[in-house]
Amino acid sequence: MAMVRSIHVFFLILLVLHALESAFANKFSSFSHADESSLLFQFKQSMSIDKSALSHAEACSLLFQFKESMSINTSVSTYDSHAYPKVASWNLNGSDGAGNCCLWDGVECRFGHVIGLDLSSSFLSGPISSNNSLFNLIHLRTLNLANNDFRSSQIPSGIGRLSQLTNLNLSYSFFSGVVPKQISQLRNLVSLDLRGNYWPRLKLQTSDFQNLVQNTSETLRELFLSEVNIDFVPDSLVNSSSLTSFVMSYCGLSGDFSTGILYLQKLQVLDLQVNDNLTGYIPEFHGNSELKQLIVAQTNFQGSIPASIGNLTHLNVLDLRINAFTGTLPASVSNLIQLTHLDLSFNKLTGNLPSLQSLSNLTYLSLRENNFDRWKLPDWFGKLNKITYLNLAYVNLYGEIPSSLFNLTQLEYLFLNGNQLKGELPISLLNLQNLETFHLDGNITVDFYLFLSLKKLENLYLNGNNISLSVIDSHTNETQPKFKELGLTSCNLKVFPEFLRFQHQLEHLNLDNNNIEGLIPGWMWNISKETLIELSLAHNLLMGFEQHSPVASWVSLQNLDLSHNMLHGSIPVPPPSTIMYDVSNNNLTGEISQSICDLSSLQLLDLSFNNITGSIPPCLEKLSNTSMTVLNLRSNTLQGKIPNIFTSESKLEMIDLSENKLEGHVPRSLENCESLRLLDLGYNFLEGTFPFWLGALSELQVLILRFNKFHGVIRIPGNIKVNFPKLRIIDLSNNLFSGDLPHKYFQEWSAMKETMANTIYMQTSIEEHREEYTTYISYEFSFHMTTKGVKIYYEKISEALFVVDLSGNMFRGNIPESITTLTSLQLLNLSNNELSGVIPPSMGNFICLESLDLSSNKLSGMIPQDLVQLNFLAVFNVSNNSLTGPIPHGKQFDTFSNNSYMGNQALCGFPLSKKCGDSEASKPPKVSFEEDTESDFPNGIDWVVILIGAVTGLVIGLVCGDYLSTKYYKWFSQRSRR
Ligand SMILES: *[C@@H]1O[C@H](CO)[C@@H](O)[C@H](O)[C@H]1NC(C)=O
Ligand SMILES: *[C@@H]1O[C@H](CO)[C@@H](O)[C@H](O)[C@H]1NC(C)=O
Ligand SMILES: *[C@@H]1O[C@H](CO)[C@@H](O)[C@H](O)[C@H]1NC(C)=O
Residue predicted with more confidence, 809 or 920: 809
Whether residue 847 is contained in a domain is answered as yes
537 domain-assigned? yes
pLDDT tens per residue across span 606-657: 888 888 899 999 988 887 777 888 899 999 999 999 999 999 889 999 999 9
Q: What is the pLDDT of residue 28?
A: 35
Pocket of ligand 1 from Cβ distances under 6 Å? 252, 276-277
Q: Whose CA is nearest to atom 5 of ligand 1?
A: 277
Whose CA is closest to 968, among 472, 328, 432, 490?
490
The minimum-distance atom of ligand 3 relative to the CA of 358 is: 13
Confidence tier at 48 by pLDDT (50, 70, 90): very low
pLDDT value of position 414: 97
578 and 709 in a single domain? The answer is no
Provide the residue type at 685 as one letter: F
- Cβ–Cβ under 8 Å, residues 528 and 504: yes
* Pocket lining for ligand 3, CB < 6 angstroms: 337-338, 361
Domain final residue, candidates 224, 247, 265: 224
Give 680-721 pLDDT, tens digit per residue. Answer: 999 999 999 999 999 999 999 999 999 999 999 999 888 888
Residues in contact with 189: Cβ distance below 8 Å, sequence separation at least 6, in sequence order: 165, 166, 167, 168, 212, 216, 219, 220
Digit-coded pLDDT (tens) for 469-489: 765 455 565 678 999 999 999
Helix extents (H) in 405-533: 448-451
Q: Strand ranges (DSSP E) for 349-396?
A: 364-366, 375-376, 389-391
pLDDT of residue 795: 57
Q: For ligand 3, atom 5, name the residue with the nearest CA.
A: 361
Domain count, the chain: 3
Q: Which domain holds residue 518?
A: 504-589
- The 10s digit of each residue's pLDDT in 98-126 is 678 888 899 999 887 899 999 999 988 88
974 three-class SS: strand
Write out pLDDT tens, residues 863-903.
Answer: 999 999 888 888 899 999 999 999 998 888 988 888 899 99
Q: Are 165 and 43 in a shared domain?
A: yes
pLDDT of the residue at 518: 86
Same domain, residue pair 199 and 107: yes
- Specify if 786 maps to a domain: yes
The CB-side HSE value for 810 (13 A sphere, CA atoms) comes to 10
Q: How far is the CA of 203 from the centre of ligand 2 (A)?
A: 40
Domain boundary among 205, 224, 243: 224
Please name the residue whose Cα sits nearest to atom 3 of ligand 1: 277
Q: Whose CA is nearest to atom 13 of ligand 3?
A: 337
C-alpha distance from residue 17 to each of 11, 25, 50, 167, 470 (Å): 10, 12, 13, 20, 84
- Asked if residue 575 and residue 681 are part of one domain, the reply reads no
> For ligand 2, atom 9, which residue shows the shortest CA distance?
286
Whole-number percent of the chain with pLDDT over 70: 81
Ligand 2 proximal residues by C-beta, below 6 Å:
286-287, 307-308, 310-311, 332
Provide the pLDDT for residue 350.
97
What is the position in ligand 3's atom list of the atom closest to the CA of 361?
1
Ligand number nearest CA of 300 is 1
CA distance 830 to 851: 11
Q: State in Å: Cα 271 to ligand 2 middle.
A: 24
Does any domain span residue 823?
yes
Region for residue 832 given its phi and psi (left: phi exceeds 0; alpha: psi -120 to 50; beta: otherwise): left
Q: How many CB atoms lie within 10 A of CB 7?
A: 10
Using CA atoms in the order 3, 9, 11, 15, what is the torsion angle rounded to 10 degrees? 180
Q: Compute the distance between CA of residue 454 and CA of residue 430 in angstroms, rounded to an integer.
A: 7
Domain membership flag for residue 785:
yes
Q: Are residues 794 and 687 in the same domain?
A: yes
Classify 447 as helix, strand or coil.
strand
Q: Which helix (H) or strand (E) holds 717?
A: none
566 and 679 in one domain?
A: no
Ranges 430-434, 438-442, 955-959: which has the least confidence: 955-959
Question: How many angstroms does the Cα of residue 361 sit away from the middle of ligand 3?
Answer: 6
Ligand that lies nearest to the alpha carbon of residue 312, given by its number in the listed order: 2
Does residue 749 share a domain with residue 864? yes
Reported as a single tens digit per residue, the pLDDT across 509-543 is 999 899 898 888 888 888 888 888 888 888 888 88
Protein residue whose Cα sits closest to atom 2 of ligand 2? 308
Residues 562 and 673 in one domain: no
pLDDT value, residue 458: 96
Residue 2 clears pLDDT 80, i.e. is over it: no
For residues 98 and 186, the model is more confident at 186
Please identify, among 163, 196, 224, the residue that sits at the C-terminal boundary of a domain. 224
Residue 753 has what pLDDT? 85
Cα(278) to centroid of ligand 1, in Å? 10
Residue nearest to atom 4 of ligand 3 (CA): 361
Ligand 3 centroid to residue 304 C-alpha, Å:
28
Q: Are 823 and 753 in contact (CB under 8 A)?
A: yes
- Out of 308, 333, 335, mutate this one to test ligand 2's pocket (max ligand atoms within 8 Å of CB): namely 308
Query: Any idea which ligand is nearest the CA of 333?
Result: 2
Ligand 1 mean position to 254 CA, how many Å? 8
Q: How far is the CA of 307 from the centre of ligand 2 (A)?
A: 8
Mean pLDDT within 136-140: 91
CA dist 746 and 563 (Å) reads 40
Same domain membership, residue 679 and residue 583 = no
> Is 70 exceeded by the pLDDT of residue 939?
no
Angle, nearest 10°, between helix axes 2-25 and 34-46?
A: 140
pLDDT value at position 566?
82
Give the CATH number for residue 102.
3.80.10.10
In 818-838, which positions are buried (b, 16+ CB within 10 angstroms) versus exposed (e)? bbbbbebbbbbbbbbbebeee
Per-residue pLDDT at 815: 96
Choice among 428-437, 446-455, 499-508, 578-587 with the minimum mean pLDDT? 578-587
Write the residue with the smallest CA distance to atom 6 of ligand 1: 277
Residue 316 within any structural domain of the chain: no
* Within a domain: 410: no
Arithmetic mean of pLDDT, 135-158: 93
CA 337 to ligand 3 centroid distance, Å: 8
Residue 415 lies in a domain: no
Atom of ligand 1 nearest to the CA of 276: 13
What is the pLDDT, as a whole number, of residue 914?
A: 86
**In the predicted structure, residue 546 carries a pLDDT above the cut 50:** yes
- 863's torsion region: left (phi>0), alpha (psi -120 to 50) or beta? beta
pLDDT at 96: 57
Instruction: State the amino acid at position 744 in one-letter form.
Output: K
pLDDT of residue 961: 38
Of all ligands present, the nearest one to the C-alpha of 253 is 1
Q: Examine the domain organization and report whether 585 and 672 are in the same domain.
A: no
- Relative to the CA of 252, which ligand 1 atom is closest? 14
Report the nearest-CA residue for atom 1 of ligand 1: 277
Mean of pLDDT over the chain: 82
Q: Is the dihedral of CA 675, 626, 596, 525 positive or negative?
A: positive
- What average pLDDT does the segment 29-51 reach? 42
User: Which of 227, 254, 277 should be mutated for ligand 1, with most atoms under 8 A from CB?
Assistant: 277
Same domain as 569, residue 701: no
Same domain, 583 and 672: no
